[in-house]
Amino acid sequence: MTTATTHPAAPGTRPAPPGAATIGRARIGLELRLFARDSGQVVFSFAYPVVMLLIFASVFGDQEVSPGVGFDRYFLAGIAATGIMLTSFQAVGIAIAEERDRGDLGRLQVLGTPPAAYAIGKAGQVLVTTVVQLAVLLTVAALVYDIPLPTDAGRWLTFAWITLLGALAGTVLGIAVSAFVGSARSAGTGIPAIAVVLQFVSGVFFVYSELPEVMRQVAALFPLKWMTQGMRSVFLPDAAAAAEPAGSWEHPMTAAVLAAWVIIGVVVVVRTFRWRRSGG
């Protein structure tokens, strides 16, 4: 620290600072790099769904939900949907609370970072990690458990839009929830609690059509139920649609609910997002 060579730019000659898209791209790279260096996060995100599949497959063995549909195949849908929720909603909500506590967000505020750039960074990181996570899960499902994967493009298209909408909804809701959870500590206990309750009522741990009517109605208000149902439409044969409470896969409704949650999340984020915990 001998001499400072920083000369301030002359006023009036200073160009405009970079826009949200430029900073957002830089932030995607940063977020991915930080994710990759957090080994606990990497292992949890990528191994957890595989472990869930292993447990379901061991517990239920060769039992079938309906003729020709094994329990492991049925629950693969719920595990995929849960995985998306964990890499988006849960990971984002907890990470933001930590970044806020650590002062990372304070720096972004000081730098005048557009909040949209921050959101772009989170969404980009979520999409990449979700894709990797699902690729690992489906590879293990196909190679180790011989679960048949779809062969037609239409089902993969369904898989793609459910993943995309689910991950986006999870990201904005994760950002939204971070405004209400307070410290990183309470985020670390509160957000997973929300996730677990949603998993129980949304047909991740149980066959959805066997859940009590009240639970199904509560679950239908939240995205996870629709993501799980959408994933069943990808991985189960068409005949299984008859076993759904509605008697069909309800794709238009699924898209509408997930899109609605994206919009609700964006509105909440715009109104409540703060770089710092204590306002003023």
Residues found near other proteins in the complex (CB under 8 A): 1-11, 14-18, 22-23, 26, 30, 33-34, 37-38, 99, 102-104, 106-107, 109-114, 276, 280
Nearest distance, CB of residue 23 and other proteins, angstroms: 6
Closest CB to other proteins among residues 18, 237:
18
Nearest distance, CB of residue 81 and other proteins, angstroms: 30
Contacts of 228 (CB under 8 A, 6+ apart): 77, 78, 81, 82, 202, 203, 204, 208
Nearest distance, CB of residue 118 and other proteins, angstroms: 11
Closest CB to other proteins among residues 19, 237:
19
Nearest distance, CB of residue 230 and other proteins, angstroms: 34
3-state SS string for the chain = CCCCCCCCCCCCCCCCCCCHHHHHHHHHHHHHHHHHHCHHHHHHHHHHHHHHHHHHHHHHCCCEEECCEEHHHHHHHHHHHHHHHHHHHHHHHHHHHHHHHHCHHHHHHHCCCCHHHHHHHHHHHHHHHHHHHHHHHHHHHHHCCCCCCCCCHHHHHHHHHHHHHHHHHHHHHHHHHHCCCCCHHHHHHHHHHHHHHHHHHCCCCCCHHHCCHHHHHHHCCCHHHHHHHHHHHHHCCHHHHHHCCCCCCCHHHHHHHHHHHHHHHHHHHHHHCCCCCCCC
Closest CB to other proteins among residues 120, 195:
120
Nearest distance, CB of residue 44 and other proteins, angstroms: 16
Closest CB to other proteins among residues 128, 194:
128
Nearest distance, CB of residue 33 and other proteins, angstroms: 7
Closest CB to other proteins among residues 11, 252:
11
Closest CB to other proteins among residues 29, 68:
29
Nearest distance, CB of residue 259 and other proteins, angstroms: 31
Separation CA 269–CA 172 (nearest Å): 7
Closest CB to other proteins among residues 27, 232:
27
